[in-house]
Amino acid sequence: MLSTGNSLTNQNAAAVLRDGLARVAQGDVEVDCTGLAQVDSSAVAVLLAWHRAAVARGLALVLRGVPAQLAQLASLYGVDGLLGPAPAAIPPAHHHRH
């Protein structure tokens, strides 16, 4: 499982991006975001790059433990679908008419 560490900002984004792309190339597409305490827009850019790399391999990037700040940034940039559906966004079960 890929780990983002506790900070993913413009200060370390290039190194984290490189490491993650190498891991995705090996088929590692599960990302642990639980430790992220500091994020900026660079975090969204890194996750998008990893997502594109995974899709190019026919895989889906899976994010675990996405912090609220990262989810808000992704929503701001219109890419919150990358983070998976929010529990409130899951449609209710279909009711059939009789």
Q: Could you tell me if 87 and 66 are in contact, meaning their C-beta atoms sit under 8 angstroms apart?
A: no
Rg of the chain in Å (alpha carbons): 15
Please check whether residue 55 lies inside any domain of the structure.
Answer: yes
Please check whether residue 54 lies inside any domain of the structure.
Answer: yes
Please check whether residue 16 lies inside any domain of the structure.
Answer: yes
Task: Report how many domains make up the chain.
Answer: 1
Please check whether residue 61 lies inside any domain of the structure.
Answer: yes
Domain that holds residue 58: 2-83
Is residue 28 classed exposed, middle or buried when 0-12, 13-18 and 19+ CB atoms within 10 A define those classes? middle
Q: Could you tell me if 47 and 61 are in contact, meaning their C-beta atoms sit under 8 angstroms apart?
A: yes
Q: Could you tell me if 70 and 39 are in contact, meaning their C-beta atoms sit under 8 angstroms apart?
A: yes
Structure tokens at 73: 């940034």
Please check whether residue 32 lies inside any domain of the structure.
Answer: yes
pLDDT in tens, the chain (98 residues): 888 889 999 999 999 999 999 999 999 999 999 999 999 999 999 999 999 999 999 999 999 999 999 999 999 999 988 776 544 333 444 444 55
* Domain CATH for 44: 3.30.750.24
Please check whether residue 92 lies inside any domain of the structure.
Answer: no
